Amino acid sequence: MNVIKLTDLDVSGKRVFIRADLNVPQDEAGNITEDTRIRASLPSIRYCLEKGAAVMVTSHLGRPTEGQLNPEDSLMPVAVRLGQMLHLPVRLVADWVDGGFEVKPGEVVLLENCRVNKGEKKNNDELAQKMAKLCDIYVNDAFGTAHRAEATTHGMAKYAPVACAGVLMGAEIDALSKALHEPKRPLVAIVGGSKVSSKLTILRSLADKVDQLIVGGGIANTFLLASGKRIGESLAEPDLVKEAHAIMDIMKERGAEVPLPTDVVVADEVSALARANKICIDDVSAHDRILDVGPKSAVKLAEIVANAGTIVWNGPVGVFELPQFAGGTKMLASAIAHSEAFSIAGGGDTLAAIAKFNIADDVGYISTGGGAFLEFLEGKTLPAIAVLEQRAAG
């Protein structure tokens, strides 16, 4: 994917507009409870400030009604936190679409929640053209919204004098391209989660590319069902057994495989008090619920990961939030952490598992985009990246 990168440009004295993803969680009092996304946006902002650019940053926050700004939709808490991190005052500018505000070189302002502007979500052309006039250089650094075509993520990139990818967006593009377009083999994908239906297109797309497709959670139960195993009362989608079959067949034809668990951890219920039993897959009874892979299967999966050249991870292989069903995901996380392979991970549950097992420093690249990461894995074109490619091609 060929895009212009911010760090390739001379931004000195230029008006730079950065579309960041600062959509951070807050408590009822409006205090930011987790600021990873703000931290992730700092490299692009700092680069522009250090080079003497006049910097404007905007983001969406929550799901505001277009045309009205409610106090809970304001980026004010973000402006405060951003200022603390940059050790600079960060002014918040409301009603900014028509300009009329000043930004000096070496100064940064935060432009109020872009989704409040009428026409933002529908990628309104007139709005995009107005906003594009505010800058000399447009920077998209919001990979988390790259799968949506909106005025600040897509329209502006068409009309700004120069359009480029920010530091974070550039890193995402490089990491995903490396993992899927030119991977070091064997390429191993781990796809966990409760439902096959929500990951079906990803599974199909990966079946054509990967050497090993490790499935976990409810997805694995549907595959076990497809391979003729009894799964008791486990979470599964019997109506998608045919699809699971088809995916295993695609893999088989290519000499690749979907390794399914030979032993599992079962319980009568999903609760912190549930007693976990480790049993052979053939011993699953009518009322059992499969909540994790068993120790033998976990070792086999860890071996596959240890021999991988590239690892793509999306989703845990068990109910890792409860300690008695966390063994499989923990062993997999440890194998990824110790592997020599290039690893890329994304998705909310995956990030929670990475945090829980404390392996963030040992994963090659952690993607900040949930939906965008999944759509990239599906092989879909992400509008915000596609428009940057068009601009780079001239």
Exactly one of 278, 371, 379, 380 is catalytic; name it: 371
Exactly one of 15, 19, 37, 81 is catalytic; name it: 37
Positive or negative torsion for Cα 248, 339, 366, 178: negative
Is 37 part of the annotated catalytic residue set? yes
- For residue 124, the Cα-to-chain-centroid distance in whole angstroms is 26
- For residue 368, the Cα-to-chain-centroid distance in whole angstroms is 4
Distance CA 39, CA 354 (A): 18
* Number of CB atoms found within 10 A of residue 358's CB: 10
Distance CA 229, CA 317 (A): 18
Distance CA 108, CA 25 (A): 23
Classify 342 as helix, strand or coil. strand
Q: Which residues contact 95 (CB under 8 A, 6 or more apart)?
A: 112
Is 371 part of the annotated catalytic residue set? yes
Exactly one of 46, 91, 195, 278 is catalytic; name it: 195
> Beta strand pairing status for 162-165 and 187-191?
unpaired
Is 115 part of the annotated catalytic residue set? no
* Number of CB atoms found within 10 A of residue 13's CB: 12
- 53 contacts 13 by C-beta, under 8 angstroms: yes
Maximal C-alpha separation, the chain: 72
Residue 185, amino acid = R
- 53 contacts 12 by C-beta, under 8 angstroms: yes
> Beta strand pairing status for 137-140 and 289-293?
unpaired
DSSP E strands in 155-251: the ranges are 162-165, 187-191, 212-215
Is 255 part of the annotated catalytic residue set? no
Edge-to-edge order in the sheet of strand 277-280: 277-280, 263-267, 289-293
Distance CA 103, CA 313 (A): 42
Angle CA 17–22–28, to nearest 5: 140
* Number of CB atoms found within 10 A of residue 173's CB: 22
Exactly one of 13, 30, 99, 348 is catalytic; name it: 348
Indicate which residues carry an active-site annotation: 37, 195, 348, 371
